[in-house]
Amino acid sequence: MDKFYFLHLVSAIGIFLVFLFALFLITVKTKYRLSNWLLAFFLFTNAVDAIKFLTRDFPVNHINLEAFRWSIVYLVPASFYLYVLSVCYANFRLKPKHLLHVIPFVAYNLYLMGGIYFVDTASKIHFIKGIYKMPVTQFFYFLFEFLFQVYFIASFLVIRKSKTVYLENYTNPNVSVLNALYKITLLYYVIHFIVLIRWLVTFIYGPGELRAWIVTLDGFAFLFCTCWYLFVALNNPEFFRGVNSGLKPITEVVPKQKTSPLIIDEKNAQIELLKDFMAEKEPFLDSSLTIQDLSEQVKMPVKDLSTLINLYMDKHFFDFVNEYRIEKAMQILKDPSQKELTVLEILYQVGFNSKSSFNTSFKKYTGKTPTDFRKQAL
């Protein structure tokens, strides 16, 4: 088999699978439809851009269509950033202001109008032959790279902020899935450097076998990462339910306060009252408990309660609540009369709704798995 034929075959299979994934995300029934559509659009734009690897010769009979395909790449980083926002924030909705993200795409098409879209074939070909030497084209290349860096760095910051907010305000967040979102963002960011290597090789050596193999590596890496990410998503139907975008990390909301003996005594008293309430009323048994719910029960403003837990107790709300859940689970696991209960039944009974988060929290708190703890206790 001709090696170039093999590379084209592999590229074709990869592009087909990415299109198939995009179609699946659009048609699958889920309440997180916007997130799926944005991810599908991101995959679709990447697949359209990758079609160039299937053609050896320039499509002279479809120059306008090929030129338009060039412009699709300016939608790639923005679509991924919007996808990250839709996953991290439960109340995220597309608004007219988000149309600002298509300005580079529109600008590039306006640039192509005078040189390709509305001229005769001979003028099109003449324009294309010198397009890579034109300052405007080089500007758009730098613009794409700049946009890619900005959007992906912004994605990292959004994920980090939303994770902090989630830990400070919610219990039982599926942090492992949020970590998967962080990893796929990092992987796509790293894969982009393969693209930069491809550009460098093309600039130095021109199109050839080395570039073709780099293209194949790029395609394999993108396809592998996408398959892994979708696998994680399919195994987590509640794919990171997101936080309210109005919430902010406590360090941004509460100014630094000067400590004094009076303030310390006041906060220590509030902490003791909170601990007594947690032990007596056991609100942590509610798997959907949020800091807003707890603030209503203890009759303390959300801001004050969040400050008390996150700053003065130096704990995330997530860890604060789960410590009580683990203590309750330990009592049940040590109780001989409760030995018929399975670990799964116990975790639901104490307020967890995920076996993985229960095992992680239990081992973090006790240094043992629930099963090992029970064996040693009974």
| In a domain? residue 245 | no
Which of these ranges, 18-32, 88-102, 143-157, 190-204, has the smallest mean pLDDT?
190-204
pLDDT of residue 240: 47
Determine the average pLDDT of the residues in 238-267. 61
| In a domain? residue 129 | yes
76-92 pLDDT, tens digit per residue, is 999 999 999 988 887 88
- Total number of domains constituting the chain: 2
- Helix segments in 235-316, DSSP class H: 250-253, 261-281, 291-298, 302-307
pLDDT of residue 105: 96
pLDDT of residue 110: 94
Residues 213, 201 contacting (CB under 8 angstroms) = no
Task: Give the C-alpha separation, 5 to 8, whole Å.
Answer: 5
- At 243, is the secondary structure helix, strand, or coil? strand
Q: Check whether 334 has a pLDDT greater than 70.
A: yes
Q: Check whether 166 has a pLDDT greater than 60.
A: yes
101-119 pLDDT, tens digit per residue, is 999 999 999 999 988 999 9
My answer on whether 220 and 261 are in the same domain is: no
My answer on whether 211 and 254 are in the same domain is: no
Q: Check whether 1 has a pLDDT greater than 60.
A: no
CATH no. for residue 148?
Answer: 1.20.1070
CB-neighbour burial class of residue 137 (10 A; exposed 0-12, middle 13-18, buried 19+): middle
pLDDT of residue 268: 85
pLDDT of residue 225: 81
- At 6, is the secondary structure helix, strand, or coil? helix
Task: Give the C-alpha separation, 7 to 50, whole Å.
Answer: 13
Confidence of residue 202 (pLDDT cuts 50, 70, 90): low
Q: Check whether 297 has a pLDDT greater than 90.
A: yes
Residue 313: CB partners within 8 Å, gap ≥ 6?
271, 320
Sign of the CA dihedral 95, 97, 100, 101?
A: negative
CATH no. for residue 363?
Answer: 1.10.10.60
Domain that holds residue 66: 3-234
Residue 124: CB partners within 8 Å, gap ≥ 6?
63, 64, 115, 116
Confidence of residue 72 (pLDDT cuts 50, 70, 90): very high
Determine the average pLDDT of the residues in 247-260. 59
Q: Check whether 260 has a pLDDT greater than 60.
A: no
My answer on whether 223 and 118 are in the same domain is: yes
One-letter amino acid at 126 equals: H
My answer on whether 279 and 229 are in the same domain is: no
My answer on whether 204 and 328 are in the same domain is: no
Q: What is the mean pLDDT of the chain?
A: 83
Q: What percent of the chain has pLDDT over 90?
A: 27
Residue 188 structure tokens: 């796509």
My answer on whether 63 and 201 are in the same domain is: yes
Residues 86, 239 contacting (CB under 8 angstroms) = no
